[in-house]
């Protein structure tokens, strides 16, 4: 469809395989998310991009194939004011996939969209702060979950989706399935974490999930059909940070993964091993932690001071 087309004036549904109410924002969310997964994208990534499509449909209260290029331009300008660079890229990716890849529209608007990549240094918790956080946690499921995130260097969703069968007790390994980029990897599972997970699993014995959703009464673990929600663990993290009196800015569950990486480097773990543990495709992603680790900062300062002091 060329950019002269005006979908808002009324066009036929360009996707014949749609089997949901075309006015339902959640229907479009699921359709776009599933379509992105079929292209090879990880489920969580597909859902992230699809959320912008759901917001779009809600904003105009009509199917996206009934929107004009001008409508979408208005939507982008409205959303642009509320989003940072990273979120803007998510917005553009979701809209391009829907209108360019699925609808085959040839809109100039979507071709030139770009967002400046923001470089924000991650907040690093010290080993003392991580210990303080764990010592303040009173609920077994949150303790087990956050301890696993840190001690295995996992992303939020990677830890939530662990199944009992992913644990290799004999090898001391954890099989991380469908990580970023829909890739699997195996990471070292510390013996203390292994023992802790065994004790926690015996509290609920859910056959499918290591961290099952417990339900409102806290008793749904044994029969839960899905893991704990993202919102539940994020909220718990915020509460536990307050309890532990950790006031650093921008501390999230992902900060535990950053802490894992820097603490391992400080202890002398080789970069190649750290790259494998974290599941980084490229080494330059892992290298960012080198300048965040204290030994690197201290050694660099000492070397610079010595070299500059030698010049009289």
- The catalytic position among 155, 204, 258, 263 is 155
Task: Give yes or no: 80 in active site.
Answer: no
Average pLDDT over residues 92-103: 93
Residue 104 has pLDDT above 50, yes or no: yes
pLDDT recorded at residue 196: 95
- Name residue, tokens 């040839």: 106
Beta strands in 77-209, from DSSP E residues, in sequence order: 167-168, 173-176, 185-188
pTM of the model: 0.69
Domain with CATH 1.10.443.10 in the chain: 127-300
Q: Please indicate whether residue 175 is annotated as part of the active site.
A: no
Q: Confirm if 68 and 6 have CB atoms less than 8 A apart.
A: yes
**pLDDT of 7 higher than 50:** no
Overall average pLDDT of the 195-202 stretch:
96
- Considering the chain, what percentage of its residues have pLDDT values greater than 70? 85
Using pLDDT thresholds of 50, 70 and 90, give the confidence band for residue 116: low
pLDDT given for residue 50 in this prediction: 94
For the segment(s) 127-300, the CATH number from 1.10.443.10, 3.40.50.11540, 3.40.720.10, 1.10.287.3510 is: 1.10.443.10
- Kindly name the residue from 163, 239, 254, 288 that is annotated as catalytic: 254
The residue annotated as part of the active site, out of 44, 89, 141, 280, is 280
Q: What are the backbone dihedrals phi and psi of residue 141, each rounded to the nearest 5 degrees, phi first?
A: -70, -35
Q: Which of 49, 92, 200, 289 is catalytic?
A: 289
Q: How far apart are CA 93 and CA 3, in angstroms?
A: 19
Catalytic residue among 175, 177, 180, 185: 180
Angle at Cα 91 formed by Cα 88 and Cα 97, nearest 5°?
Answer: 140
Average pLDDT estimate for 115-128: 77
pLDDT band of residue 181 (cuts 50, 70, 90) is low
Q: Residue 309 and residue 295: Cα distance in Å, rounded?
A: 21
Q: 86-94 long-range contacts, Cβ below 8 Å, gap at least 24?
A: 86/115, 86/117, 86/118, 88/115, 89/115, 89/117, 90/48, 90/49, 90/51, 90/52, 91/52, 93/49, 94/32, 94/49, 94/50, 94/51, 94/52, 94/53
Active site residue 254: yes
pLDDT, tens digit (0-9, with 9 covering 90-100), for 275-289: 989 988 888 888 888
**Active-site residue identified among 44, 257, 258, 263:** 257
Mean pLDDT of 157-186: 88
Q: Is residue 155 flagged as an active site residue?
A: yes
The candidate with the shortest Cα–Cα distance to 152, out of 278, 281, 300, 47, is 278
41's CB contacts (< 8 A; 6+ apart) are 49, 182
pLDDT higher than 60, residue 2: no
Question: Is 245 marked active-site?
Answer: no
For residue 267, is pLDDT > 90?
Answer: no
The answer to whether residue 257 is catalytic is yes
């Amino acid at each position: 469809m060329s950019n002269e087309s005006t979908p808002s004036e009324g066009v036929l549904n360009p996707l014949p395989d749609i089997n949901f109410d075309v006015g339902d924002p959640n229907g479009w969310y699921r359709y776009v998310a599933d379509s992105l997964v079929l292209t090879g994208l990880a489920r969580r990534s597909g859902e992230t991009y699809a959320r912008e499509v759901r917001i779009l449909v809600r904003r105009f209260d009509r199917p996206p194939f009934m929107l004009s290029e001008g409508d979408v331009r208005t939507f982008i300008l409205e959303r642009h004011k509320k989003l940072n660079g990273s979120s803007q890229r998510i917005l553009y990716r979701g809209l391009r996939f829907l209108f360019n890849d699925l609808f085959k529209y040839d809109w100039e608007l979507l071709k030139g969209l770009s967002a400046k990549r923001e470089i924000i240094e991650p907040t690093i918790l010290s080993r003392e702060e991580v210990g303080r956080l764990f010592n303040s946690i009173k609920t077994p499921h949150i303790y087990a979950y956050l301890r696993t995130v840190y001690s295995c260097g996992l992303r939020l969703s990677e830890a939530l989706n662990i199944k009992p069968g992913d644990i290799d007790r004999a090898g001391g390994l954890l099989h991380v399935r469908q990580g970023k980029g829909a890739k699997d990897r195996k990471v070292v599972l510390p013996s203390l974490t292994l023992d802790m997970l065994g004790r926690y699993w015996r509290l609920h014995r859910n056959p499918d999930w290591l961290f099952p959703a417990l339900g409102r009464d806290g008793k749904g673990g044994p029969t839960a059909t899905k893991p704990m929600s993202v919102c539940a663990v994020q909220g718990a993290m915020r509460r536990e940070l307050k309890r532990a009196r950790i006031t650093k800015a921008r501390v999230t569950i992902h900060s535990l993964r950053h802490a894992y990486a820097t603490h391992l480097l400080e202890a002398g773990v080789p970069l190649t091993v750290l790259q494998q543990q974290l599941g980084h495709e490229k080494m330059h992603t892992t290298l960012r932690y080198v300048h965040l680790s204290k030994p690197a900062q201290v050694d660099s300062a000492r070397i610079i001071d010595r070299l500059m002091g030698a010049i009289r």
